[in-house]
A and B are shown apart, each in its own frame.
Chain A
């Protein structure tokens, strides 16, 4: 009786791991690789059960897992070169992850087209890799899903307000930065009280659940600020318009998109703080692809297409404080 219970618990845990790793695989062309990665996660679930008794070091296990996943996915890819993005670009087709819900950056329009600065960057990079615009497939990459999409090979690269951080570098390669954003505040146009993050004491600041930007204001500028969290920035903006919160915070380029939606009603304070480097994420270890994309970004900035894309999408009155130099 007892044994049977333990057995069913283990089976349940394995099933859970399957669901967790397999749930966001929606693109049909990559089903094979996602099944492969699910299979490897079952294997690693088995490993974890075994090693729980010995309390093995987690890092050793996770590296073993990633090497298994890598071996499997390269076997699936067959006899092609190391770089997934360059291989696909050679076939004239790339799959790019973007945001679908961020005005000015990555937005899926009602007619099915895509617009925004990230989209323009993605198109320029694809063009430099030799892919025509109709060879690009855009898929949605929500913030929490980005690493998984890249690891399973469902996208070739991701251009989705993807800040370069050390934790993320453990899982993916970053090209860029292609844009340097600064955190800023969005307030009502008639608000003269809030001039910067220091003036937020005793005020209510809105951000999305789990985002680090509101926490930064609290930690670094105004300990007395109250944080309201909603699921999306749109809800924050609605709360700001109704007066329930005093300011919304996130990266200035995102806020500029909302301010442009409500001209005369909302404004960006314009005192940027805390730098965010947006990078293009691609498969871990793909140095050839990273170098190629870095060159593409550099050429986009040098040719003036970068500034042009920014003017067309975010707005020509958007003040670029630092022009990025792709290095990482």
Chain B
């Protein structure tokens, strides 16, 4: 086994995995926020909000992620003309392309992953005894207060471990971003396979090891947090 390509300056292995981490980080934050909003809409007393969130979740999570990401670039950006970065005239457009593709990918991941976050949180809401919400309403709290002060804090504490699974899935899903030219780990793997075509097994092993290094600690940390913060009933 010849792993010499790991230290070859032509291949920015650390940079590629750093891009994976960045994609995961921003997508995780965005999909948590959107997921909480969707979950709140799904349990809200307004029928329109409930049905919108329900429809959104059921449609988006049943579309393959690759399709969503390619659609973000080919349809939303190229055909419909959405620009998430500014292209300055006379400057090398590489910086524009990089931020444009990165943001498109993050947006796609947020849309996709938020549906899974929403469903995880909704299952957490179901673990909160109904008496709590009834009591909160009885002392005169509004819906937003019932949800924000009483129900959601307990719900989220109950679903830390499932959210960890969603985060691990998201980390691995970021490999799809290479389909629209984001220079993350999977894109580097394809380059390595092209240039180092005599050692495909080594390339696979290195990239797989990189992902395990990223996701294994995530699982352990979320497991520990789940134990620490779970609501004891």
How many residues on the A side are at the interface (Cβ–Cβ under 8 A)?
Answer: 43
Q: Would you call A62 an interface residue if the criterion is a C-beta within 8 Å of the partner chain's C-beta atoms?
A: yes
The stretch of B21-29, B106-114, B132-140, B179-187 that contacts the partner chain: B179-187
Q: Would you call A168 an interface residue if the criterion is a C-beta within 8 Å of the partner chain's C-beta atoms?
A: yes
User: B195 to A167, Cβ gap below 8 A?
Assistant: yes
Q: Would you call B74 an interface residue if the criterion is a C-beta within 8 Å of the partner chain's C-beta atoms?
A: yes
Q: List chain A residues, Cβ under 8 A from B199.
A: 62
Q: Determine the residue in chain B with the shortest Cβ distance to A41.
A: B201
In the complex, what's the smallest C-beta–C-beta distance from B4 to chain A, in angstroms? 7
CA distance A211 to B70 in the complex (A): 19
Q: Would you call A77 an interface residue if the criterion is a C-beta within 8 Å of the partner chain's C-beta atoms?
A: no
Given A202-B90, A228-B181, A238-B74, also A210-B205 (CB < 8 A): no
Q: Would you call A261 an interface residue if the criterion is a C-beta within 8 Å of the partner chain's C-beta atoms?
A: no
User: B92 to A210, Cβ gap below 8 A?
Assistant: no
The stretch of A100-108, A129-137, A140-148, A301-309 that contacts the partner chain: A140-148
In the complex, what's the smallest C-beta–C-beta distance from A85 to chain B, in angstroms? 21
Q: Would you call B62 an interface residue if the criterion is a C-beta within 8 Å of the partner chain's C-beta atoms?
A: no
Q: Would you call B43 an interface residue if the criterion is a C-beta within 8 Å of the partner chain's C-beta atoms?
A: no
User: B198 to A210, Cβ gap below 8 A?
Assistant: no
Q: Would you call B31 an interface residue if the criterion is a C-beta within 8 Å of the partner chain's C-beta atoms?
A: no
User: A212 to B205, Cβ gap below 8 A?
Assistant: no
Contact string against A for B residues 101-131, beta-carbon threshold 8 Å, 1 for contact and 0 otherwise: 1000000000000000000000000000000
User: B2 to A212, Cβ gap below 8 A?
Assistant: no
Q: List chain A residues, Cβ under 8 A from B179.
A: 209, 230-231
User: B196 to A167, Cβ gap below 8 A?
Assistant: yes
User: A209 to B181, Cβ gap below 8 A?
Assistant: yes
Q: Would you call A68 an interface residue if the criterion is a C-beta within 8 Å of the partner chain's C-beta atoms?
A: no
Q: Would you call B229 an interface residue if the criterion is a C-beta within 8 Å of the partner chain's C-beta atoms?
A: no
Q: List chain B residues, Cβ under 8 A from A209.
A: 178-179, 181, 187, 190-191
User: B78 to A244, Cβ gap below 8 A?
Assistant: yes
Given A62-B2, A226-B93, A235-B74, also A210-B201 (CB < 8 A): no
Q: Which of A167-222 contact B (CB under 8 A)?
A: 167-168, 170-171, 202-204, 209-212
CA distance A170 to B2 in the complex (A): 13
Q: List chain B residues, Cβ under 8 A from A224.
A: 92
Given A48-B1, A62-B1, also A210-B191 (CB < 8 A): yes
Q: List chain B residues, Cβ under 8 A from A21.
A: 201
Q: Would you call A58 an interface residue if the criterion is a C-beta within 8 Å of the partner chain's C-beta atoms?
A: yes
User: A204 to B93, Cβ gap below 8 A?
Assistant: yes
User: B198 to A147, Cβ gap below 8 A?
Assistant: yes
Q: Would you call B96 an interface residue if the criterion is a C-beta within 8 Å of the partner chain's C-beta atoms?
A: yes
Contact string against A for B residues 175-213, beta-carbon threshold 8 Å, 1 for contact and 0 otherwise: 000111100000101111111111111001100100000
User: B90 to A211, Cβ gap below 8 A?
Assistant: no
CA distance A21 to B1 in the complex (A): 14
User: A167 to B197, Cβ gap below 8 A?
Assistant: yes
Q: List chain A residues, Cβ under 8 A from B2.
A: 58-59, 62
Q: List chain A residues, Cβ under 8 A from B90.
A: 202
Contact string against B for A residues 13-47, beta-carbon threshold 8 Å, 1 for contact and 0 otherwise: 10011001100000000000000000001001000
User: A229 to B198, Cβ gap below 8 A?
Assistant: no
Q: List chain A residues, Cβ under 8 A from B204.
A: 16, 20
User: B208 to A228, Cβ gap below 8 A?
Assistant: no
Q: List chain B residues, Cβ under 8 A from A244.
A: 77-78
User: A16 to B205, Cβ gap below 8 A?
Assistant: yes
CA distance A167 to B191 in the complex (A): 14
Q: Determine the residue in chain B with the shortest Cβ distance to A238.
A: B74
Q: Would you call A227 an interface residue if the criterion is a C-beta within 8 Å of the partner chain's C-beta atoms?
A: yes
Q: Which of A147, A231, A239 has the most CB of B within 10 A?
A: A231
In the complex, what's the smallest C-beta–C-beta distance from A284 to chain B, in angstroms? 11
Q: Would you call A242 an interface residue if the criterion is a C-beta within 8 Å of the partner chain's C-beta atoms?
A: yes
User: A212 to B208, Cβ gap below 8 A?
Assistant: no
Q: Would you call B7 an interface residue if the criterion is a C-beta within 8 Å of the partner chain's C-beta atoms?
A: no
CA distance A212 to B198 in the complex (A): 16
User: B208 to A226, Cβ gap below 8 A?
Assistant: no
Q: Would you call A61 an interface residue if the criterion is a C-beta within 8 Å of the partner chain's C-beta atoms?
A: yes
User: B78 to A238, Cβ gap below 8 A?
Assistant: yes
Given A58-B4, A235-B70, also A230-B195 (CB < 8 A): no
User: B93 to A203, Cβ gap below 8 A?
Assistant: yes
Q: List chain A residues, Cβ under 8 A from B4.
A: 58
Q: List chain A residues, Cβ under 8 A from B1.
A: 44, 48, 58, 61-62
User: A20 to B190, Cβ gap below 8 A?
Assistant: no
In the complex, what's the smallest C-beta–C-beta distance from B125 to chain A, in angstroms? 36
CA distance A204 to B179 in the complex (A): 17
Q: Which of B92, B97, B190, B201 has the most CB of A within 10 A?
A: B201
Q: List chain B residues, Cβ under 8 A from A235.
A: 70, 74
Q: Which of A147, A203, A225, A238 contacts B197 (CB 8 A)?
A: A147
Q: Which of A17, A170, A225, A239 contacts B198 (CB 8 A)?
A: A170
Pick the 8 closest A-B CB pairs, nearest first.
A210-B190, A58-B2, A229-B181, A226-B94, A244-B78, A226-B93, A210-B191, A242-B78
Q: A144-B190, A147-B197 are in contact. List 17 more A-B contacts (CB 8 A).
A: A17-B201, A58-B4, A62-B2, A144-B197, A148-B200, A202-B92, A203-B93, A204-B97, A210-B189, A210-B192, A225-B92, A227-B181, A228-B181, A230-B73, A230-B179, A231-B178, A242-B79
